[in-house]
Amino acid sequence: MALKDQITEDMKTAMRAKDSERLATIRLLLAAVKQKEVDERVVLDDAGVVALVDKLIKQRKDSIAAFESAARQDLADKEKAEMLVLQAYLPARMSTEEVQAAVAALVAELGASGAGDMGKVMGAAKTRLAGKADMAAVSAAVKAALAG
């Protein structure tokens, strides 16, 4: 079953269960998927949906940080709940060790050395590890690999 179909089924299940918070988050995700499809005139595959979910989770993390710094714990808790629902649609993430090993292999493969090659390594890492690893962790691993 395609990820988009799974999200639609989850929406129906949330409607039947009258789970309004989960339903609102799933509807938000489906609206974002439809918006992207309309804007770019494409049909998103699973990788595209995962990338969109990643983007929405990053937005939630940024919002949580902003709300907590403004002492708005009620809004931060709402964003955390949405983030938990969205994370269910991401594939299993690579561990920190796996990310470091993948980055080390990329650095060796590209012959990269020094901070000047960061963009080259990140570009390759983005295509290979998108959806599999948290890109903030990948960026930190690339910085560490190029510094050492």
CATH topology of domain 3-87: Hypothetical Protein Yqey; Chain: A; domain1 (1.10.1510)
- Separation of alpha carbons 101 and 112, rounded Å: 15
Q: Do residues 110 and 121 lie in contact, with contact meaning Cβ atoms separated by under 8 Å?
A: yes
Greater pLDDT, 77 or 111: 77
- For residue 39, the model assigns a pLDDT of 94
Amino acid at 10: D
Give residue limits of the domains in the chain: 3-87, 96-147
First CA to last CA across the chain, in angstroms? 44
Contact by Cβ (8 Å): 142, 122: yes
DSSP state of 40: H
Look up the CATH architecture of domain 96-147: Orthogonal Bundle (1.10)
pLDDT-derived band at 148, boundaries 50, 70, 90: low
pTM above 0.85, yes or no: no
For residue range 47-88, list pLDDT tens digits in order. 889 889 989 999 999 999 999 999 999 999 999 999 999 999
Percent of the chain with pLDDT over 90: 52
Residue 143 pLDDT: 85
For 95-108, the pLDDT digits (tens) are: 888 888 888 888 88
**Distance of CA 31 to CAs 8, 12, 111, Å?**
11, 15, 42
So what's the pLDDT on residue 121? 81
Q: DSSP per residue over 62-121, as a string?
A: HHHHHHHHTT-HHHHHHHHHHHHHHHTTSPPPPPHHHHHHHHHHHHHHHT--SGGGHHHH
